[in-house]
């Protein structure tokens, strides 16, 4: 592989999953979206996206969830790479490879993480040198969660979740993620939320003072008590088994539990890595969830791990 004829450039980027510590959903807008106020935290569970120049655009996927990821034009990482090429007038198709560790359709924004990773990987491969703000703007075109997965850490999202603002936060937290079978589709969960709230006054969404104070304090008990998700009732209405998952985690001593985004993953907060391991073992033993994982947060957003390089 050393001759110039076989030399290939590539770039690899890792991007994290997310949990919404708080998700306030406003009324349905005329464009069908809802105004949100959300507090995101990036979690240490990563997908890795590699881009390699090729004759044609393509996408391939490996990892435990590969079979559930589309490999056609609907793949979000491929759409991200193509969009950046269009915006920057780069004429170099790439083969996008995703190594997937983030459960698919679990409410942890794995597809958005892949889009964020593909944007950054192509920016490096093509030496585009986009500013952070330019990349965030392109990310917002791809999906509401994509800008946050570029940014990482902890942030408040408004608009559809794509407008980010910093938040004063300290501490590092240990999470346990109970991943259930049968994804809940995000549009269905929002529709159910609208149905359950029909006729009710919906206040303008904003982060709660309790959540902001908990993040400032860095205290897991306070954060556990402040977790809240306006989509929770809708997710539980569509998938009542999630009630059992939530109850089990809290019974086993979690500091708090929450449906992640539109579900069906349930995220539990614990106060140490030992407590997280214990909870993981207990929840696995009950069999209430298909899979139970641990992750720390907050972590960085999408980061280049290799390249551009020649192999
Ligand atoms: P949302 O961001 O809507 O909350 P989610 O986190 O629940 O979504 P994702 O893993 O992002 O779930 O996948 C949602 C759907 O997006 C999948 O069912 C899949 O069909 C599609 N999809 C497109 N590209 C990808 C990708 N690269 N990885 C995972 N899913 C993808």
Q: Give the tens place of pLDDT for each residue, 272-295.
A: 999 999 999 999 999 999 999 999
Average pLDDT of the chain to the nearest whole number? 94
**CA nearest ligand 1 atom 16, residue:** 111
Q: Could you tell me how far CA 267 lies from the centroid of its own chain? A: 13
- Whose Cα sits closest to atom 29 in ligand 1? 111
Residues in the chain where the model's pLDDT stays below 70 = 1-7, 308-311
75 lines ligand 1 (CB under 6 A): yes
Best residue among 72, 105, 162, 267 to mutate for probing ligand 1, ranked by most atoms within 8 Å of CB: 105
pLDDT at 4: 41
Q: Is 194 a catalytic residue?
A: no
Three state DSSP letters for the chain: CCCHHHCCEEEEEEEEEEEEEEEEEEEECCCCCEEEEEEEEEEEEEEEEEEEECCCCEEEEECCCHHHCCCCCCCHHHHHHHHHHHHHCCCCCEEEEEECCCCCCCCCCHHHHHHHHHHHHHHHHCCCCCCHHHHHHHHHHHCCCHHHHHHECEEEEECCCCEEEECCCCCCEEEEEEECCCCCCHHHHHHHHHHHHCCCCCCCCCCCHHHHHHHHHCCHHHHHHHCEECCHHHHHHHCCHHHHHHHHHHHCCCCEEEECCCCCCEEEEECCHHHHHHHHHHHHHHCCCCEEEEEEECCECCEEEEEEEEC
User: Looking at residue 309, what is its pLDDT?
Assistant: 56
Tens digits of per-residue pLDDT, 187-241?
A: 999 999 999 999 898 889 999 999 999 999 999 999 999 999 999 999 999 999 9
Q: What residue owns the CA closest to ligand 1's atom 26?
A: 111
Q: Examine the residue annotation and report whether 18 is marked as an active-site residue of this protein.
A: yes
| Residue 158 near ligand 1, beta carbon < 6 Å | no
| Residue of 47, 114, 145, 230 marked catalytic | 145
Task: Return the pLDDT at 20.
Answer: 97
pLDDT at 29: 87
Span from the CA of 196 to the centroid of ligand 1 (angstroms): 25
Q: How far apart are CA 250 and CA 269, in angstroms?
A: 9
Ligand 1 centroid to 109 CA: how many Å?
Answer: 6
CATH topology for the 1-311 domain: Alpha-Beta Plaits (3.30.70)
Q: How many whole angstroms separate alpha carbon 274 and alpha carbon 193?
A: 36
In this predicted structure, what is the pLDDT of residue 280?
98
Mutate to test the pocket of ligand 1, among 16, 18, 104, 146 (most ligand atoms within 8 A of CB): 104
- Where along the chain do its domains lie? 1-311
pTM score, whole prediction: 0.94
| Closest residue by CA, ligand 1 atom 3 | 186
Cβ contacts of 67 within 8 Å, gap of 6 or more: none
Report CA(192)–ligand 1 centroid distance (Å).
Answer: 19
112 lines ligand 1 (CB under 6 A): yes
Q: Is the CB of 114 under 6 A from ligand 1?
A: yes
């Amino acid at each position: 592989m050393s001759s110039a004829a076989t030399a290939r450039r590539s770039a690899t980027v890792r991007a994290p999953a997310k949990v919404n510590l708080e998700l306030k959903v406003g009324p349905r807008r005329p464009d069908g979206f809802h105004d949100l106020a959300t507090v995101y935290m990036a979690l240490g569970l990563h997908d890795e996206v590699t881009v390699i120049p090729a004759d044609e655009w393509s996408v391939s996927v490996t990892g435990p969830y590969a079979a559930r990821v589309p490999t056609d034009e609907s793949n979000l990482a491929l759409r991200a790479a193509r969009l950046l090429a269009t915006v920057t007038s780069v004429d170099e198709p790439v083969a996008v490879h995703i190594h997937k560790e983030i459960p698919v359709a679990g409410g942890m924004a794995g597809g958005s993480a892949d889009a964020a990773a593909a944007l950054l990987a192509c920016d490096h491969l093509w030496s585009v040198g986009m500013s952070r703000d330019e990349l965030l703007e392109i990310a917002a075109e791809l999906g509401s969660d994509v800008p946050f997965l570029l940014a990482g850490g902890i942030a408040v999202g408004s608009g559809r979740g794509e407008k980010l603002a910093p938040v004063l936060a300290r501490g590092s937290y240990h999470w346990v993620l109970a991943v259930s079978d049968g994804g809940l589709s995000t549009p269905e969960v929002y529709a159910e939320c609208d149905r359950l709230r029909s006729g009710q006054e919906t206040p303008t969404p904003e982060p709660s003072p309790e959540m902001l104070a908990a993040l400032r304090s860095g205290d897991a008990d306070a954060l556990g008590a402040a977790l809240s998700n306006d989509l929770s009732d809708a997710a539980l209405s569509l998938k009542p088994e999630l009630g059992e998952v939530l109850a089990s985690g809290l019974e086993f001593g979690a500091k708090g539990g929450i449906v992640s985004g539109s579900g069906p993953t349930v995220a539990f907060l614990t106060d140490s890595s030992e407590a997280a391991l214990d909870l993981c073992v207990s929840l696995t033993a009950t069999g209430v969830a298909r899979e139970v994982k641990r992750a720390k947060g907050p972590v960085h957003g999408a980061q280049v791990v290799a390249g551009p390089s020649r192999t």
